[in-house]
A = this chain, B = another copy of it.
Amino acid sequence: MKNHTETHTSHTRVPVSECSLAKAIRVVGDMWSLLILREVICGAERFDQIREDLGITRSVLSNRLARLVQEGILERYQYRDSGQRARKGYALTAKGHALFPVVIALREWGGEHLEPGNTPLRLQLQTRDGLRVETKLIREDGLEVTDMTDIIATVKE
């Protein structure tokens, strides 16, 4: 609970149009795009696979995939499983992979603050050899930040 007599930290004004956080939010900060990324990370690669898992409509999925490809976050490719016809798939590019810290942080936050008691099955993000991975906030001096209220926004130009 905030103390209403405390002196307020001054308002850091970075115009939305020039803020890389705001830009990132405009590019990937929408529900369907994020859910689609989750699907691709989980290994879904085909249009209908994603659509069935998410219950998204074809038109919106088509639209979002196009945007994600255009932004260079996903790439579209063709593949052919042996004995199967050629198909099209979507996969993360390097730029898409670079979103892992965001996704993992979101996953952690959801797991810690949104779970309603029991958790039957949990999505884990780990290395190929089975090591758990988690995000940490590290200060310039190498120490981990544990108290989030110690973090403030400023403008460096």
Which A residues fall within an 8 A CB radius of B? 1-2, 4-5, 8-16, 18-31, 34-35, 38, 41-45, 49, 53-55, 75, 77-81, 89, 91, 94-95, 97-115, 119-128, 131-141, 145, 148-157
Contacts and interface: CB of A to CB of B under 8 A. Distances in A.
A20 B97 contact: no
Contacts of A103: 21
22 contacts: A2-B91, A8-B79, A8-B81, A11-B45, A12-B42, A14-B121, A14-B122, A16-B54, A18-B121, A19-B123, A20-B115, A22-B35, A23-B114, A29-B31, A100-B151, A102-B109, A104-B151, A121-B157, A125-B153, A127-B139, A132-B140, A133-B151
B45 A156 contact: no
Contacts of A35: 16, 22, 25, 29
B155 A133 contact: no
A109 B109 CA distance: 18
Contact of A75 (B1, B24, B38): B1
B140 A133 contact: yes
Contacts of A157: 120-122
B8 A100 contact: no
A25 B34 contact: yes
A99 B153 CA distance: 14
Nearest to A123: B14
B20 A31 contact: no
Given A20-B107, A109-B98, A124 B2 contact: no
